[in-house]
Each structure stands twice: as C-alpha cells, then as structure tokens.
C-alpha cells in the first residue's frame, strides 16, 4: 500500500496510515510536472482542494486504486475518469462542517464590526475608530441559501444572536424547516428582499453557479452584508464588486475567492471586504478529524473493504454487485429524473419492486434510487452509503413495497415521489444483458432507452406541437436521436421523451417552453 500525500494533512492521519501498514510519502511541494512523474508508483493519493485529479493525472497513475479527498467538496476530482478506471474516490463530508460553520460566523462578525480594519489601524499605531462603525446582529434577518449540513449549523447558532432566520432551499422539506425553526422562502427573490445578511451554503452546481448575481443585488435591501464560505462563483464576484461600488452591498466576507489558490480576486481591492484563503476547514479539530478519517478510508479501500464515504462506487462485494448492477443503474436513472423535472421538495419516496426484482436484495437498489434522486441538488455529497442518512436528515421518509406479480413485465421498479402538492411516478424495467428501459412517467407509457441527454416535455395533444418542437431543436443545433410520445386517451395532454445527441442550451429550452401547446419542457442529463 504505497500512498502519496500531495497536500498537508494532520500528522495524526499520517500516523494512522503508517500504523495500518501503508508506505507513506508526504510530498506537499511537488510541482505539477513532478507529481505527474511520480504518481505512477502509488496505489493511493491523498489530496485537499488544490491538486487537480484529472485525465492528465489518471493517464500517468497506472497503479492508482484510491483517491482520498481530505475534506468535503470534490470539485477538483474528475469523478467519471476515476469511475471509468475503477479508482475509488473517498472523502470526509462530515469532518469539517462545524469548522466551516464557525468561520462563517467569524467572517460575519468580523465583517459587521470591521475587526480586521480596526486591528490594522492599531497595528500601525493609529488609535482611530472613525468611519468604521459596525452593525449589530440582534434583530436582523439573515437569509441562508442552502440549508444543508453547514447551512443548518449556521442557522442554529445565529438564533442565539437573536436573529430572524429565513432560508431558501427548494430541496429541503417543510418538516425539516419546521424542525430547525427556520422560515422557508419559496423564492430566492423573496429571501433577497427580506435579508439584511446573506450567507450561501450550497454546493457548486450548474444551478447554483452565479445564483447570487446582478439581479439579486438589484432587489436586495440597501446595505446588504454578503458572506460566502461555500465555493467561489456561487456569488458572482463581478456583480458583488459592482454592488459594493454602488453601495447596495455594504460589506462582504469571503472565504473562497475566485482564482484560488492564487490571490487574484478582484474583491481584494475593496476595503469593506474581508477575505480568507479558503480557511473554513483549517482548525486543529477539523484537520485531525479529516486526517484520521481519510487515512482509515484509504486503507479500507486498498484492502477491498467497505468504505463509508465512497463517492463514486457502490460498496458491495463483486459477486452480489454483478446480480444487481443493472438494477443499480436503472434505480439511479429513475431517481435522477425527479429534481430535473420538478422543483417541489420531496416529502416521501415510495419504491415498488414487482416481479423478478422483488426477489433480490433490494435495499441497495433503493440506495441507488435515493442517490440518483438527490444527486442533481447535492452533487458528490450523496453516495450509496449516506443516501439513507441524507434522506432522513432532510425529513424524507422512504418505504419499500414488494409484489411478486406484475402485468406485462417480468420485472419492474416504480418510484413514487410525493411532495406537498404533487405525486410523481416513474417506472422502469431491465431485460437481456442488463438493458434498461423507462416504461412510464406520471402514467404516460413509454419504452425509452435512457441516454446521457434527454428532453422531456408535456404538451397539449393537438396537431403542430411536435413539429414546432423539432424545428426549434434544429435551430438550436440539437440532433434528435429518438422520440416517443405517451398519451392518455382520457386526457387532452401528452408527454414527449426525446433522446438527443448533445446538451440543450438554456435559450433553446426557453424558446421551447414558449411554444403554444407546450406546457413544460425540461432538459435531463444522466
């Protein structure tokens, strides 16, 4: 077990690896070229957020079996590249959340009270408080975007400051909001209008990248305070800079500046912005937690044992995996549809296994469904092992039903997603050597072979709609591979499922949604 550590981790973690019999090289100042030259000799690699683990590295890493991310976000790791090569990626999602939360509060206080600026003056031997009057937190409204692990820790702590807590997280159930005593805002705009302080705690996804930008600052209260301890880009830096110049935003605290690990952020030029170099997890406690956890996980993975935080692989013995593999793919595919088609927070998931699949060990298939369900909103934070815990922590109840008989199919999985105002269903089957098909969505019947890019549209069942949709996709340079129409004879509506050869641009989707007779058109990425 040869393990290379390319970024600093706690000594306790290094000791743990050695204790478990690994040969450990700690080389934290290698150049990229040097790293590429030596990586071929290692079975395991431990990184933090600065080492890019990508195709270039994988090509040289011919022995690599596990990548350990000593921390939470895995945005620096190419997951598909790892999965393709059977390299397990593990991380430590719980180990540093308290520290990240505490830095958020620290930045908030430092920002509201100008602590670094006052300190700097005094260090220059100048006793002068003028122009640096702070603001109190008590009685103010804090708007949290992303009420997950860190967001909810922040909420709990800020309550003790006498603050009014509101949050926007469409993927969290009302029950969880109630449990945390946080007021739910259905729309980001409503949160922006009400907040005196804004703090973001979402992962960086296609949806959250730039979620706080020009439009949001325009409607925000004048004098807003902005905190970003999550990821660069969630708050658009240029827009923030403009809002600071226009005094719409009064001050900001940022732990994750653009350009990291270089000090190039344009916000560095603003006196009323406090910036730290991605130090959210940099505490003795978090680093000890992270170091020990990642050491244990890397060793387990190298020994072929169960790994608690395998981000990209199901942790089942190979023999069992073979039998259920096709169902895992089907389950994940069925799960992935909901949040790409609908926005309502999930309250309950009912999974019905019918026919042959009902005789299998279905619990792992249910995990695959949950993993797929939450992946569009939680990204890498959800995996086979934590899927149940995450569902529970988000107030989602999951039930399984098994029935031995099923009409028309040998084997069928139906996933019913129940939210406050709606019930969504999707079914699929497996046949031959693991071929899968989606057989039903919301009562519309299909026989679709799911592919990486799909368009799912609901439309009025009348002449001309399908033709217009095809034309607009053509204008948007999207090639249609297959197309199926599902209709209910009792209804004037229909559903179209198209597999396409490329991503569909936002503008094309907007055009499609504007077509008379199209009720809804959504791009789905698998």
Ligand X SMILES: O=C(O)CCC(=O)C(=O)O
Ligand Y SMILES: NC(=O)C1=CN([C@@H]2O[C@H](COP(=O)(O)OP(=O)(O)OC[C@H]3O[C@@H](n4cnc5c(N)ncnc54)[C@H](O)[C@@H]3O)[C@@H](O)[C@H]2O)C=CC1
Q: Active-site residue numbers?
A: 231, 260, 278
Q: Least distance (Å) from ligand X to the CB of residue 184?
A: 26
Query: Choosing among ligand Y, ligand X, none, which partner's interface includes residue 49 (Cβ < 5 to 8 Å by kind)?
Result: ligand X
Number of residues that bind ligand X (CB under 6 A): 10
Structure token pair of residue 157 = 């702590």
Q: Least distance (Å) from ligand Y to the CB of residue 454?
A: 21
CA dihedral 417, 419, 423, 427 (to 10 degrees): -10
**Residue 173 interacts with ligand X (CB under 6 A)?**
no
Residue whose entry in the numeric block shows the structure tokens 């129409």: 485
Residues 139-158 that bind ligand Y (CB under 6 A): 145-151
Smaller CB distance to ligand Y: residue 41 or 233? 233
Query: Choosing among ligand X, ligand Y, none, which partner's interface includes residue 168 (Cβ < 5 to 8 Å by kind)?
Result: ligand Y
Structure token pair of residue 260 = 């990291």
Residue whose entry in the numeric block shows the structure tokens 């620290």: 106
Q: Which residues contact 484 (CB under 8 A, 6 or more apart)?
A: 446, 447, 448, 496, 497, 498
Q: Which residue is nearest to ligand X (CB)?
A: 71
- Per CB under 6 A, the list member of 7, 43, 169, 196 interacting with ligand Y is 169
**Residue 49 interacts with ligand X (CB under 6 A)?**
yes
User: What is each CA distance from 101 to 104, 177, 281, 429, in whole angstroms?
Assistant: 5, 18, 9, 43
- Per CB under 6 A, the list member of 73, 146, 151, 335 interacting with ligand X is 73
Does residue 24 contact residue 18 with C-beta atoms inside 8 Å?
yes
**Residue 151 interacts with ligand X (CB under 6 A)?**
no
Rounded Cα distance, 353 and 125, in Å: 73
Residues 405-434 that bind ligand Y (CB under 6 A): none
Smaller CB distance to ligand X: residue 290 or 521? 290
Q: How far is CA 222 from the centre of its chain?
A: 31
Q: Least distance (Å) from ligand Y to the CB of residue 103?
A: 7
Does residue 200 contact residue 234 with C-beta atoms inside 8 Å?
yes
Q: Does a cis peptide bond (omega within 30 degrees of 0) precede residue 347?
A: no
Smaller CB distance to ligand Y: residue 224 or 345? 345
Cα atoms in the Cβ-side hemisphere of radius 13 Å centred on 251: 22
Q: Which residue is nearest to ligand Y (CB)?
A: 148
- Per CB under 6 A, the list member of 105, 144, 381, 444 interacting with ligand Y is 381
Does residue 436 contact residue 428 with C-beta atoms inside 8 Å?
yes
3-class DSSP state of 498: strand
**Residue 71 interacts with ligand X (CB under 6 A)?**
yes
Helix or strand holding residue 387 (H, E): helix 387-393
**Residue 257 interacts with ligand X (CB under 6 A)?**
no
**Residue 499 interacts with ligand Y (CB under 6 A)?**
no
- Per CB under 6 A, the list member of 6, 51, 96, 152 interacting with ligand X is 96
**Residue 72 interacts with ligand Y (CB under 6 A)?**
yes
Burial of 405 (0-12, 13-18, 19+ CB in 10 A): exposed
Residues 180-239 that bind ligand Y (CB under 6 A): 201-205, 207-208, 211, 229-231
**Helix crossing, 284-302 with 11-19: angle to 10°?**
20
Does residue 436 contact residue 358 with C-beta atoms inside 8 Å?
no
Q: Least distance (Å) from ligand Y to the CB of residue 142?
A: 15
Residue window 102-141: x/- pattern of binding to ligand Y, with contact defined by CB under 6 A: ----------------------------------------
Q: Least distance (Å) from ligand Y to the CB of residue 141?
A: 17
In the chain, the N- to C-terminal Cα span, in Å, equals 35
For the beta carbon of residue 96, count every other beta carbon within 10 angstroms. 24
Structure token pair of residue 9 = 């981790």
Query: Choosing among ligand Y, ligand X, none, which partner's interface includes residue 48 (Cβ < 5 to 8 Å by kind)?
Result: ligand X
Query: Choosing among ligand Y, ligand X, none, which partner's interface includes residue 229 (Cβ < 5 to 8 Å by kind)?
Result: ligand Y
Q: Least distance (Å) from ligand X to the CB of residue 148?
A: 12
Q: Least distance (Å) from ligand X to the CB of residue 300?
A: 20
Smaller CB distance to ligand Y: residue 169 or 196? 169
Q: Least distance (Å) from ligand X to the CB of residue 99?
A: 9
- Per CB under 6 A, the list member of 6, 51, 72, 315 interacting with ligand X is 72
- Per CB under 6 A, the list member of 51, 92, 96, 508 interacting with ligand Y is 96
User: What is each CA distance from 43 to 65, 104, 316, in whole angstroms?
Assistant: 5, 36, 21
Rounded Cα distance, 98 and 62, in Å: 37
Does residue 312 contact residue 82 with C-beta atoms inside 8 Å?
yes
Residues 271-330 that bind ligand X (CB under 6 A): 278, 280-282
Positive/negative CA dihedral, 304, 69, 376, 143: positive
Judged by the rule CB under 6 A, the positions of this chain that interact with ligand Y are 72-73, 96-97, 100, 145-151, 168-169, 171-172, 201-205, 207-208, 211, 229-231, 255-256, 278, 280-281, 377-378, 381
In the complex, the residues that contact ligand X under the rule CB under 6 A are 48-49, 71-73, 96, 278, 280-282
């Amino acid at each position: 077990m040869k393990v290379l550590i390319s970024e600093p981790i706690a000594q306790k973690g290094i000791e743990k690896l050695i204790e478990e019999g690994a040969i450990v090289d700690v080389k934290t100042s290698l150049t990229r070229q040097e790293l590429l030259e030596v990586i071929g000799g290692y079975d395991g690699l431990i990184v933090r957020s600065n080492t890019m683990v990508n195709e270039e590295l994988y090509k040289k890493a011919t022995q690599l079996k596990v990548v350990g991310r000593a921390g939470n976000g895995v945005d620096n790791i190419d997951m598909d590249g790892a999965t393709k090569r059977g390299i397990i990626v593990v991380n430590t999602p719980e180990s540093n959340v308290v520290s990240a939360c505490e830095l958020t509060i620290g930045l908030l206080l430092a920002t509201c009270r100008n602590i670094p600026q006052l300190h700097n003056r005094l260090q220059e031997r100048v006793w002068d408080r003028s122009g640096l009057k702070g603001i109190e937190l008590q009685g103010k409204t804090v708007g949290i975007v992303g009420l997950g692990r860190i967001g909810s820790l922040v909420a709990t702590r800020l309550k003790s400051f006498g603050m009014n807590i509101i949050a926007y997280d469409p993927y969290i159930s009302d029950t969880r909001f109630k449990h945390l005593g946080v007021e739910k805002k259905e729309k980001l705009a409503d949160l922006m209008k009400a907040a005196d302080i804004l703090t973001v705690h979402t992962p960086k996804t296609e949806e959250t990248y730039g979620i706080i930008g020009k439009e949001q600052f325009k409607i925000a209260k004048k004098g807003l305070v902005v905190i970003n301890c999550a990821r660069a880009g969630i708050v658009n830096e240029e827009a923030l800079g403009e809002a600071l110049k226009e005094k719409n935003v009064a001050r900001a605290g940022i732990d994750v500046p653009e350009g990291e690990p270089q000090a190039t952020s344009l916000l560095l030029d603003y006196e009323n912005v406090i910036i730290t170099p991605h130090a959210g997890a940099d505490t003795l406690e978090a680093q000890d937690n992270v170091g020990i956890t990642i050491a244990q996980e890397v060793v387990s993975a190298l020994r072929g044992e169960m790994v608690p935080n395998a981000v990209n692989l199901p942790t089942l013995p190979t023999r069992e995996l073979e039998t259920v593999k096709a169902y895992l793919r089907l389950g994940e595919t069925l799960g992935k549809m909901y949040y790409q088609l609908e926005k309502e927070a999930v309250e309950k998931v009912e999974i019905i296994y019918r026919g042959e699949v009902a005789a299998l060990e279905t619990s792992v298939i249910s995990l695959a469904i949950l993993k797929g369900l939450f992946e569009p909103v939680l990204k890498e934070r959800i995996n086979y092992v934590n899927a149940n815990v995450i569902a529970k922590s988000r107030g989602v109840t999951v039930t399984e039903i098994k029935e031995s008989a099923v009409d028309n199919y040998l084997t069928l999985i139906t996933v019913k997603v129940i939210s406050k105002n709606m019930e969504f269903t999707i079914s699929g089957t497996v046949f031959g050597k693991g071929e899968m098909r989606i057989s039903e969505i919301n009562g519309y019947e299909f026989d679709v072979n799911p592919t990486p890019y799909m368009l799912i549209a609901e439309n009025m069942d009348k002449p001309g709609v399908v033709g217009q949709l095809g034309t607009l996709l053509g204008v948007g340079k999207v090639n249609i591979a297959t197309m199926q129409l599902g209709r209910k004879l009792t209804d004037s509506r229909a559903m179209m499922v198209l597999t396409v050869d490329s991503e569909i641009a936002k503008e094309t989707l907007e055009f499609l949604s504007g077509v008379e007779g199209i009720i809804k058109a959504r791009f789905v990425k698998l």
